[in-house]
Chains A and B, each alone.
Chain A
Amino acid sequence: MDRWAEPPGCAQDMNIIAVGISHKTAPIEVREKLAVPESRLGEALRRLCAYPGIKEGVLLSTCNRVEVYAVVEDVDAGYARVQEFLADTHLSLSSEQLTPHLYWLTNERAIGHLFRVAASLDSMIVGEPQILGQLKDAFEAALTHKTSSVILNKLVKKAISVAKRVRTETKIAETAVSVSYAAVELAKKIFSNLSEKTVLLVGAGEMAKLAAKHLVKNGVRRVMITTRNPQGALDLAEQFNGVSIPFDDFRREMAEADIVLCSTGASHYLIRAEDVQQAVRRRMNRPIFLIDISVPRNIEPAVKDIDNAFLFDIDDLETRVEQNLEERRREAAKAEHMIEEEVGGILDWLKSLDVTPTIVALRKRAEEIKQAEVDKAMGRLGDLSPQERSAVEGLASAIVNKMLHGSLVTLKAEANSASSAMFVEAAKRFYNLDSVPSERGETMPAVSEPDLEREPSGQDR
């Protein structure tokens, strides 16, 4: 009787488990050992599903997490198998070493975790879009190696659609959460159409280059570059399809630029207030947006008092990022709510899954009995007219169908109740169905993935 006392949603012979480590539970030293490169994913999946009792498996391996989602018969045995599997991925790892970093989740909580991971709620940067692509890759690998079947197919596809819902219905991924992207976000509050704007890149600092790249991606067509080393400017000009200008002249050229990105190693102010004042005058008061990503600063702070010049330094950008992260955390709370709902929906599906094969088996069994008895009767009755034959067959069908009707209706009605497992068990015993092979694999069509095309990833990270 104990098995019926399990929480709703777990059929007695199938459980969904999630076992893994993430940036929240394990340092990079452990994560990098467990990580499975794409080239070895197939081999790892085969090894995982070779363990007895593991019916389906998906392996998600990114730089922030390594997780196994599996369908198992027995939860504890499943945990042990998966832990063994994880420990085996690296020679120097023992199962015991792994234990303190692992989390083990079953059914409802495992599904919720999968959804949260897909929706990027469990990410280091909440809302970052990459994880969804990584999950899709992991799923495709599992499909290719046939380690994912009905249940995980449904779960992962649901996770992907939940993630999309979270992204469209909350503002979780809307705001910039990197310094270089925050620069783009600010530029868009000054200029409505970046494609007619010119950016001047002063120096070759990494962050400024990244910001310039983002600006180009967001429409900026004209890039001017200046560095102390003329060759460096030429190289960058080629990279950005822009023009290099001599370092000594750039202050004069600055009037041409709508956006100035400054990041050099200089220890003094390269751009002084009077340079900007002059540029603004020559621009006939068109706004100029200056971003100083250098430490020490390269643009004189007094520039902020000049009308129509907007200066932001690294601290300003970081403040902006911090605010945006705060906003994302607020939105994450909304997303959690959505996920709760969706997990409820998927649990219902899992429950019905268990009733369906029983109904199929029951019908099949009845049909077999009917056919056998009809054949026997026909043999004894000898020659019959077609009308008589069909009358006999009709009689048999009517009796069987009327007999089954109540049971089928009850099974369907109880599919979503907490006691569905009990009814299924009763039906199996009453009709002696255990000899009938499970039809579970056929209750779902083979996977087709119209919704699996890759999404462009929105921002850096």
Chain B
Amino acid sequence: MPVMFFMATMVLYLVGTALFLAYLLRRTEALSKVSLVITGIGFLAHTVALLTRMMGVDHVPLPSIHEAMSFFSWALVLVFLIVEVRHRIHVLGSFILPLALISLLSAAALPKEVPTLEPVLKTVWLHVTLSVLGTVGFAVAFVAGIMYLIQDGLLKSKRFNVLYAKLPPLDYLDRLNQQSIVMGFPLLTLGIITGALSAEFARGSYLNWNPEQLWALVTWVFYFAVLLGRLTVGWRAKRAAYLTIIGFAGVILTFLGVVLKGHGPVG
């Protein structure tokens, strides 16, 4: 049952991505509605897939990378839909949907089972959920950063093409970037704290200095600096865009490190 919905979600996100990319290159707004509807249906299917898996027979004691990635993809689409409803920025879908699709595809490729090496703790679920939500914030900031740099480049070079027409104003993108980090950062902080607590219960130490934990801390410090820099010395606009793109690249590397090492739970 969950597998069926998961497959349906993949197909729908694939179609949604294709439509949103086509929308980006077309002069008219014509495709925006159908892209949105497909994405919305995909999101519903995704929700059902996640719920049935959580409650279903193949319930796993610990969240696997598969679940984390799938949940990441789901939350990303949720954020997009919220922003879409509030601000009608269709073009955001052209950037977020591909990312959601990629994470869903990697979720499909990753193992669903986890080796249960450590005592099962409820806090691990919390840790994963919070960390993933924090990462979603950084992902949206990353997308906003890319859109910012594109629009900035188009304005600077005075190329008023289809993309220029569709992208929102620069300060909107900068604000989206800021708000995403403002929301993502505390979530990541809580994610790290709960992670440390789980580790303490499981292994008796908050931190055992493995590379993933180290990277998580580096990420945390980085985004703290980004946030602080914006508030104090004006790291906004173009610089904020660059920084959040770099930051998210770091997040992806952490993730890849975890996956390649074949570790189970995130963090």
Whether chains A and B associate is yes
Instruction: Evaluate whether A192 and B238 lie within 8 angstroms (CB atoms) in the complex, with A312-B158, A320-B160, A323-B160 already known.
Output: no
Q: Once the chains bind, are B160 and A287 in contact (CB under 8 Å)?
A: no
Count contacts on A: residues with CB < 8 A to the other chain. 22
Q: Is the CB of A310 within 8 A of B169?
A: no
B169 and A286 within 8 A (CB): no
CA distance A312 to B157 in the complex (A): 10
Taken residue by residue from 133 to 163, chain B's Cβ proximity to chain A (1 for < 8 Å, 0 otherwise) reads as 0000000000000000001000110101000
Consensus secondary structure, chain B interface:
helix
6 residue pairs bridging A and B, Cβ less than 8 Å apart: A188-B169, A189-B170, A190-B155, A281-B234, A286-B237, A304-B156
CB pair A189–B233 under 8 Å, yes or no, is no
Check: A99 CB closer than 8 A to any chain B CB: no
Contact with B along A310-328 (1 / 0, CB 8 A): 1010001001100100000
- A188 vs B168: C-alpha distance in the bound complex, in angstroms? 9
Residues of A near B235 (CB, < 8 A) are 285
Whether B90 sits at the interface, judged by CB under 8 Å, is no
- Complex-state Cα separation, A193 to B168, whole angstroms: 12
Q: Chain A contacts of B171 at CB under 8 A?
A: 190-193, 286-287
Q: Which residues of A contact B238 (CB under 8 A)?
A: 285, 307-308
Tell whether A310 pairs with B237 under 8 Å between CB atoms, given A192-B172, A287-B170, A287-B171: no
Write out the residue numbers on chain B whose beta carbons fall within 8 Å of the beta carbon of A190: 155, 169-171
CA distance A284 to B160 in the complex (A): 27
Interface readout for B20-32 with A: 1 if CB under 8 Å, 0 if not? Answer: 0000000000000
CA distance in complex: A191, B174 (Å) = 10
> Which of these, B156, B158, B164, B236, contacts A319 with CB under 8 Å?
B158
Contact A286 B236 (CB under 8 A): yes
Q: A192-B172, A193-B171, A307-B238 are in contact. List 12 more A-B contacts (CB 8 A).
A: A189-B167, A191-B170, A192-B171, A285-B234, A286-B237, A287-B170, A307-B237, A308-B237, A310-B155, A310-B156, A319-B158, A320-B160
For residue B151, which residues in chain A have a CB less than 8 angstroms away from its CB?
189
Interface residues on B, range: 20 to 34
Q: Do the beta carbons of A189 and B155 come within 8 Å of each other?
A: yes
Q: Kindly supply a per-residue 1/0 record for chain A positions 280-301, scoring 1 wherever the CB is within 8 Å of any chain B CB and 0 otherwise.
A: 0101111100000000000000
Please, which residue of chain B has its CB at the minimum distance from the CB of A308?
A: B237
Which residue of the partner chain A has the closest CB to B87?
A: A192
Of B168, B170, B235, most buried by chain A (CB within 10 Å of CB) is: B170
Asked if B239 CB lies within 8 Å of chain A CBs, one says yes
**Interface majority SS on A: helix, strand, loop or mixed?**
mixed
A357 to B96, CA, bound (A): 64
Closest A residue to B151 by CB, please name it.
Answer: A189
How far does the alpha carbon of A310 sit from the alpha carbon of B154 in the complex, in Å?
Answer: 11
4 tightest Cβ-Cβ pairs between the two chains A and B: A284-B234, A192-B169, A192-B172, A285-B234
CA distance A283 to B236 in the complex (A): 10
Contacts of B234 in A (CB 8 A): 281, 283-286
Residue of A at shortest CB range from B231?
A: A284
Tell me the A153-198 residues at the B interface (CB within 8 Å). Answer: 186, 188-193
B28 CB, nearest partner CB in chain A, Å: 8
Q: Using Cβ atoms and an 8 Å threshold, which residues of chain B touch A283?
A: 234
Q: CA–CA, A281 to B172, complex, Å?
A: 20
Contact of A285 (CB < 8 Å), options: B168, B172, B237: B237
Over the window 92-126 of chain B, the binary record of Cβ atoms lying under 8 Å from chain A Cβ atoms (1 yes, 0 no) is 00000000000000000000000000000000000
Complex interface: chain B residues within 8 A of A287 (CB): 170-171, 237
Q: In whole angstroms, how far apart are the Cα atoms of A86 and B76 in the complex?
A: 68
Complex Cα–Cα for A358 and B158 (A): 65
CA A189 to CA B170, docked complex, whole Å: 6
Residue of A nearest to B238 (CB): A307
Residues of chain B lying within 8 A (CB to CB) of residue A320: 160
CB distance from A258 to the nearest CB of B (A): 9
Interfacial chain B residues near A284, Cβ < 8 Å: 233-234, 236
For A217-240 the 0/1 string (1 means CB < 8 A from B) is: 000000000000000000000000
The reply to whether B158 and A189 contact each other, CB–CB distance below 8 Å, is no
Which partner residue on chain A sits nearest B234 by CB separation? A284
Candidate in A189, A193, A307, A308 with the most chain B CB atoms within 10 angstroms: A189
A175 to chain B, nearest CB (A): 9
In angstroms, how far is the closest chain B Cβ from the Cβ of A116?
A: 23
Q: Across the two chains, which residue of chain B brings its CB closest to A311?
A: B156
